[in-house]
Amino acid sequence: MAMALAACSKRQRLSEMSSDGAVHFMEKLLFQIYEHFDEQDLIDVTFKLSNPTSFITAHRLILSATSPYFKQLFKSEEGICPLIEITDIDSDTFERLITFCYTGKTLITIENVDRMLKAALILQLKEVVVNCVYFLMDHITDYTLERAYALETEAQCELLSAKIFEYEIGNFMNVIQSSEFLNFDANKLQTILEHDDLNITSERDAFDVIKRWYEHDASARKQKLSDLMSYLRLTQFDTNFIMENIHPLPGCQVTALKAVSWVNVPSTRKTISLRFTRPRPRIAEAFLALNFKSGIIFQYNKTDDLWQKWVDIKMDISEEVILMDDNLIFIGGSRNNKAIDEVRCWNFKTKLFQRLPPMNQPRYVHSVVELNSKIYAVGGKGANDEILQSVEMYTVSDGWKSINSMNTPREYVNAVVLNEKIYVIGGHYGYDLKSVECYDPTTNSWTQCADMNEKHCNQGVSVHNGQIFVVGGWNGKAISTVERYDPQRNEWTKICSLNKECQRPGCISIYSQLWAVGGNNKDFVSVYDEQNDKWIDKKSIPEGGFYYCFTAPKCLL
């Protein structure tokens, strides 16, 4: 009777017991298990391997505890046999993995990672699978991408496929140099191209990749070409590029015309269906700020809210700068308080300067912008300190050429590009200005826009969420006023002011926010909270001063 009662009582599970002293006990238990394994004591299963022939012994309980494969095997009829033959894993790899079941450690090398991964997948040793995949990706240059692709096909490992895809997105310009790239199927290439974080220097890179892939086997890939082109951010190309490069390609005419209509006729956009109408988010780009005085470029670490010095550009003049492709173009400025016409190009990869054709006339305290691969130099002061009304445009083919002048001469001016037009804002001409004018390159003409609410000279300017923001500046004294321009309504609205008065902060739209950095020897950094209409101060930048803010693909750094 007592025996029956004992059998019916509920046994307490080990997982429910108190953990007091458990760590010490488990260490002792583990040591005893090691000893049993080393001394081959109480062995209850032997595996026969045939490559080369060898016999490996172990304990069923230990293997079952570490591997679902072994647990299921030992519960089957096949697993009852004291000798089990393994035919799909070589003896050296199997022995390493049996050792892992006891110790949690195993040696992974460039030479054995293929075999280890495939065997770990068979034996359902998840920790070894993870270790193999991360080892492979950490040594991808030694391992070679081609070998990784072959292993992905053979092993059919989801984690490996996911990590290779991450590598493809982050190292796309390297991946396309591999022999495997030209053999990608259309679905794989599409999945890569549609990814927001694709690490390319410009949308032109993605276009060039599609064209190269298509031309490798044009007859077989012609049907896929139009669909692949639709995964480009087509609205980032100018009309000439679309019509000259995309429109002539087989099956791409409709897609090209949609993109042209979107770019040139904003009123039709509601009726046009494009997969993507916005540029790729700047997640894969670095946030950089160039100090005009010291020439130091700082990089922002978003995770730590911290600015770090990236590189020191040797600058002996005060000049305007613009980012194009993988170059910073320094245009005009002053040396010894005299306007200059010099144009220099600093390359991200070589970190060297190169001379470009000079402007038609010297300029400083002017503004420069880029639109459709053309550079525009606007206003400023000339060689004799005269305030300039003139504007000139640079193209690689034709150099610098004058275009129609602004309606008003301006110095200490700022300009931005929005909706394929150039907006020139405020500045100084005998007095501080609140006037704004807009240049349309298709007609080479200037149009007067609504005035700002206040005068802004030497201010910060940026486009954010389809509107123009003017931040701080000078109006008889440094000001903190911020205004926002709606181009559809042709209307300026005052919003929350900066927390400090500031001339010429570097302004940029990044991380879906408007940022203001530095200005008149200030080191403050502030972010606009649109929802609550307030500015939030962030970690200061290491040096005070005027800053030019920009983003660059991380692959350039």
For 211, the 3-state DSSP assignment is helix
Q: Which H helix or E strand runs over 451? A: none
Rg (CA), the chain: 33
Please, are residues 474 and 432 in contact by the beta-carbon 8 Å criterion?
A: yes
169 vs 280: CA distance, rounded Å = 13
Each residue's pLDDT tens digit, 133-143: 999 998 988 88
Q: Give per-residue pLDDT as tens, 227-238.
A: 999 999 998 888
Q: Which of 102, 173, 99, 111 is nearest to 136 (CA)?
A: 111
Q: What is the pLDDT of residues 403-459, one digit of tens each?
A: 999 999 999 999 999 989 999 999 999 999 999 999 999 999 999 999 999 999 999
Tokens of 173: 């310009």
Q: Is the pLDDT of residue 10 over 80?
A: no
- Beta-bridged to residue 548, according to DSSP, are 290
Sequence-distant (6+) residues with CB within 8 A of 493 are 453, 483, 484, 485, 486
Q: Could you tell me whether strands 399-403 and 285-291 are parallel, antiparallel, or unpaired per DSSP bridges?
A: unpaired
Residues belonging to the chain: 557
CA angle at 209 for the pair 208 and 210, rounded to the nearest 5°: 95
Q: Treating both helix axes as pointing N-terminal to C-terminal, what angle do 91-103 and 113-123 enclose, rounded to 10 degrees?
A: 60
Distance CA 460, CA 32 (A): 71
Closest CA to 388 of 422, 362, 414: 362
For residue 283, pLDDT beyond 70: no
Long-range contacts: 166-172, Cβ < 8 Å, 24+? 167/137, 167/140, 168/192, 169/195, 169/197, 169/198, 169/199, 169/284, 170/197, 170/199, 170/284, 171/199, 171/555, 172/198, 172/199, 172/200, 172/205, 172/209
**Residue 424 near residue 416 (C-beta atoms within 8 A):** no
Query: How far is residue 161 from each of residues 67, 157, 168, 240, 266, measured CA to CA in Å?
Result: 23, 6, 10, 39, 41
pLDDT digits (tens, 9 = 90+) for 42-98: 778 899 988 788 899 888 888 998 999 999 999 888 878 889 899 899 999 999 999
What angle (nearest 5°) sits at the alpha carbon of residue 304, between those of residues 302 and 307? 70
Spatial distance between the Cα atoms of 149 and 138, rounded to a whole number of angstroms: 15
pLDDT above 70 covers what percent of the chain? 92
pLDDT at res. 392: 97
Q: Which pLDDT tens digit goes with each residue over 345-368?
A: 999 889 999 999 999 999 999 999
Distances from the Cα of 427 to the Cαs of 383, 461, 473, 500, in angstroms? 19, 12, 9, 20
Question: For residue 549, what are the CA distances in angstroms to 286, 462, 556?
Answer: 11, 10, 16
Q: Respond yes or no on whether the N-terminal peptide bond of residue 281 is cis (omega within 30° of 0).
A: no
Whether 38 shows a pLDDT value over 80: the answer reads no
Report which of 425, 431, 439 is spatially closest to residue 482, judged by C-alpha positions.
Answer: 425
pLDDT at 277: 86
- Checking if the pLDDT of 3 tops 70, the result is no
Domains of the chain, start order: 34-174 (3.30.710.10), 178-271 (1.25.40.420)
Tell me the residue type at 51.
Answer: N
Query: 343: pLDDT confidence band, cut at 50, 70 and 90?
Result: very high
pLDDT of the residue at 1:
39
For all residues of the chain together, what is the average pLDDT?
Answer: 89
Closest among 463, 469, 480 to 520, alpha carbons compared: 480
Task: Transcribe 287-346 into DSSP letters.
Answer: EEEEETTT-EEEEEETTTTEEEEEEE----SEEEEEEETTEEEEEEEEETTEEB--EEEE
Find, among 146, 197, 149, the residue nearest to 171 by Cα.
197
The string over 189-217, giving b where at least 16 C-beta atoms fall within 10 Å of a residue's C-beta and e elsewhere, is bbebbebeebbbebbbbbbebbbebbeee
Q: What is the pTM of this model?
A: 0.57
As given in the structure block, the two tokens for residue 535 are: 């500015």
DSSP helix/strand/coil, 369: strand
CB atoms within 10 A of CB 494: 12
DSSP-assigned beta bridge partners for residue 195: none
